[in-house]
Structure 1
Amino acid sequence: MGGTKADPATTSFSWSKVFTRQSEWSDKDEFLDIIYWIRQVLGVLLGLVWGLIPLTGILGLGLFFVTNAGLVYLYFSSYHRVDEEEFGGAWELTKEGFMTSFAGFLVTWIIVYSGMHFTEQDLQPFS
């Protein structure tokens, strides 16, 4: 993800290709940017859902990792059917933006869970 400013016409074209099956991706960085932003949105949405359910602990973390990686993998391998080797392999595509997505997920999950499931009584010091 470079520091260059994107052309609005090119950006809107990229987003239209997001929802078109088996789109052609002439620019490798364009597809990686799409994967990155899909993952960010997915991280926040999963944090919202996990906080509302409420999921906690290692189960919530594990389900996030599996769901996030699995959905992104299905997106690029089944929906777009890109040649993974052209982008550095399946691992490169699967890990694109993963840690920032995880950070967004954690922040959203903690805020929603705390806001929905903590009461004033939960915050009282032990007596």
Structure 2
Amino acid sequence: ISEDVAEGEYIIIAFPDDTDITNIDATDCTIAATSSIGSDAFVATKATSISKSDETLTITLPDVNTQDKIGTGATVEVIANDVINPPIPGDYTLTVATSGETTPVESASYAIETPTIPPPPGIVEVYNPAGILMAW
């Protein structure tokens, strides 16, 4: 980050359209940061307050270290559980802003793919000589 984020200020994450964040609560969100100018590093601190609007998650920064802030130059990691991805496979991005840095920064693209699910164990598949799957 290029500007301090103090205790009580915000980290704002805008997820792609059709991302479902309705099930997220504060206990689903953790924040960690590296040391930086004027602040110590901290690990996996639970959020104490969040708000949601459509696909936008706003996390209020809790008491994270003795300086009560994430300092300039820190690398920040936010983990949010209970996010339901968009239903359509494809490449997506999200944006992140803070109380002090209000212009959102876009993430690198990430892919949501349809999983390949193999047949369950114990199912026998029978093929005829032409290689066609027969009823089982």
Question: Does TM, normalized by the shorter one, top 0.5?
Answer: no
Which has the larger helix fraction? 1
Which has the larger strand fraction? 2
TM-score by length of 2: 0.30
TM-score by length of 1: 0.31
- Which structure ranks higher in relative contact order (CA pairs < 8 Å, sequence separation ≥ 6)? 1
The structure that has the greater radius of gyration is: 2
